Amino acid sequence: MRIGIPRALAYYVYYPFVNTFFEKLGCKVVVSDVTTKETMDMGVQDTITDACVPLKLFHGHVRNVKDKVDYVFTPRLVSVNNEATFCPKFLGLPDMLACSIDNFENPFEVRIDLQGSKLRLFTLCYQVAKRLKKGFFATYNAYREALTNLKNYKHQFLQGGIPPLGIVAQKKDTPIKLGVIGYPYMLYDPYLSLDLIKKLINMGVYIITPEMIPNEDKAKQGRKMKKTLFWTFSNEVLRSGYHFLDKKCVDGIIHVTAFACGPDFAVDKLLEIKSKNHNIPYLTITLDEQTGQGGLNTRLEAFVDMISIKKKKLGNKGKEAAMA
C-alpha cells in the first residue's frame, strides 16, 4: 500500500517518526514534492482568503500527492504533552480538508492525542497499525525504530545542524550569532521562508533555531511564565526567545511568522516587549504567499550590518577601556 505524506505543517517536526513507522510496517511512503509555485497556487485556490500560508500550503501538498497514493496521511494533532494543545487550525485540519478540496476521497485521518500516560503513543501506533492490518510485533518493531530515528533527528539539531535543509554543521567561529525563531514549518520550508536560513548563513552568521536549544533549558523558561500558552509550537518559540534573552547568548533575534498567524499575536508582542527591555535587537519577518526576495534581502542585510556595527563599536570601547 502506498501512503502519501504532505510535506507541510507538522511534517518538519515529526517526519522521521512518521515516515519510518509507515515504512517499517511495509507501506510505501510517498512524500509530496518540495514546495513550488504550483503547490502554493493550488493551495491558494482551495482555501479561504484569511487562512494562513502554511495552511494553504498543506492543502496544496495534499492535492499534489493525493492521486499518486492509496491514502493521504492527515493528522489531527490534539496534543503531544500534558501542558498544551495546538492551534485550532491543526485541530480542524481534516474537517477543513474534507470541505475545501474537491474529490478528496482517500484521507487517512489519525487523531493524535497523547495526553496522559507515556504509553499513549504506542497505543496510538497500534491502532493505526490495526487499520493497516498489521500485528503487534511488527508494530512494536516499527515503533522502536521510528522513535530511534526521531531521537537521531533531534540530536542532529542539538549538534548545530539543520537536517531538513541538509545542513550538517555550521561554522562555529563566525562573528555574529543570531537566534532565528519561528514555527518549524515556517523556517524549514525553503520556498516559504525564501531560503532565509541559508541566506543568513552565507552572510557569515551562526544560527540557532528553537530545535537547537536543549529541552531542559526551554522547560526552565516555561516555569517562569505566568500562564502557559495553549499551543505547543508557540510555547517552544516563546521559551526559546526568552532563553536567548535571559542567557544573552545571541546578538539578535529574528522572529519569522506568517501573515495573520493567530497564536503569534501573543508570541510576537511578548518577545518584542521583553527584548526591548533586555536591549537586544529584534526583527519580525512576516511571510505570506508573495515570493519577492528583494525586500527580505534588504531587511536581513540591514539587520546583520547593524549588529556588526554595534559589535565593532562595543569592541572598540572595550579596547579603549583596556588601554586606559
- Which window, 87-95, 157-165, 189-197, 290-298, contacts other proteins (CB under 8 A)? 87-95
Which of 285, 260, 320, 282 has its CA nearest to residue 55?
A: 260
- Which window, 170-178, 197-205, 269-277, 315-323, contacts other proteins (CB under 8 A)? 269-277
**Per-residue contact track with other proteins, 284 to 323, x per CB under 8 A?**
----------------------------------------
Quick one: cell of 75? 493528522
Number of residues that bind other proteins (CB under 8 A): 36
- In a 13 Å sphere around the CA of 118, the CA atoms on its Cβ side amount to 0
Site membership for other proteins, residue 230 (CB under 8 A): yes
Which of 32, 39, 43 has its CA nearest to residue 73?
A: 32
Site membership for other proteins, residue 76 (CB under 8 A): yes
Alpha-helical segments (H) within the chain: 11-24, 37-46, 53-66, 88-91, 93-100, 120-131, 136-158, 184-187, 196-202, 215-224, 232-247, 264-278, 294-323
Site membership for other proteins, residue 74 (CB under 8 A): no
Cα separation, 27 vs 144, whole angstroms: 17
Check residue 265 and report its DSSP letter. H
- Which window, 30-38, 144-152, 208-216, 264-272, contacts other proteins (CB under 8 A)? 264-272
- Which window, 37-45, 60-68, 79-87, 242-250, contacts other proteins (CB under 8 A)? 79-87
* C-beta of residue 29 within 8 angstroms of C-beta of residue 3: yes
What single letter denotes the amino acid at residue 60? G
Site membership for other proteins, residue 48 (CB under 8 A): yes
Site for other proteins in 171-210 (CB under 8 A): none
Among 3, 80, 200, 229, binds other proteins (CB under 8 A): 229
Q: Which residues bind other proteins (CB under 8 A)?
A: 47-48, 50-51, 76, 78, 85-89, 91-92, 95-96, 98-100, 111, 226-227, 229-231, 259-266, 268-270, 273
